[in-house]
Copies of this chain bind each other. A is one copy, B any other.
Amino acid sequence: MTERTVGGGEVFSGRVFGVTVEDVLLPDGRTARKEIVRHSGGVCVLALLEDGPEPLVPLVRQYRYGAAAETLEIPAGRLEAGEDPEECGRRELAEECGLLAESFVPLGTIYPTPAYCDEVIHIFLARGLSRTEACLDDDEFLSVEYVTLERLAELCRDGGINDAKTVVAAVRTENRVQRTDNR
């Protein structure tokens, strides 16, 4: 099952994303018009501070203009063209939370909206953390809060956190940490 592009092109080119309108050959031989958001991809990082009695996870509280709401999310950012996802994740973790990581483990990727957008979000688990200076972009306004991994899982399950990538990262981290601990 695939759908081949037969025409169309870009209708909007922005700083954060572009938009294309494309004519697509459907499996039955007809064509359909598709509107697609073109995005360079994202990275998010679940960081585990493991030097206390319980692992703590830094979360970023910020106003999200798209959602028109304040959200609680793990640190994240947009990939620059050609940028390595791990490098991007390390940059965001340092800038937003002031944290450096010894280990950066990939936990796969997700599609936030596969129907109409090509964005892929890379998920990382960061461990072995140490402090550096946080250094926000000059249009970022956010605060960092720490919750236990258990509380994070609870917030994801009960809807207290409703940012999709944060929920997926929490699920995959729980899985990874359990497997590692039982090894």
Binding site for B on A (CB under 8 A): 1-3, 11-12, 14-17, 19, 21-22, 24, 26-28, 30, 32-37, 39, 61-71, 73, 78, 107-121, 139, 141, 156-159, 162-165, 167-168, 171-172, 174-175
Contacts and interface: CB of A to CB of B under 8 A. Distances in A.
How many identical chains are in the complex?
Answer: 2
Contacts of A118: 66-68
Highest count of chain B CB atoms <10 Å: which of A24, A113, A118: A113
Closest 5 CB pairs of A and B: A108-B159, A67-B114, A64-B114, A164-B164, A112-B112
Nearest to A111: B67
A99 to B, nearest CB: 21
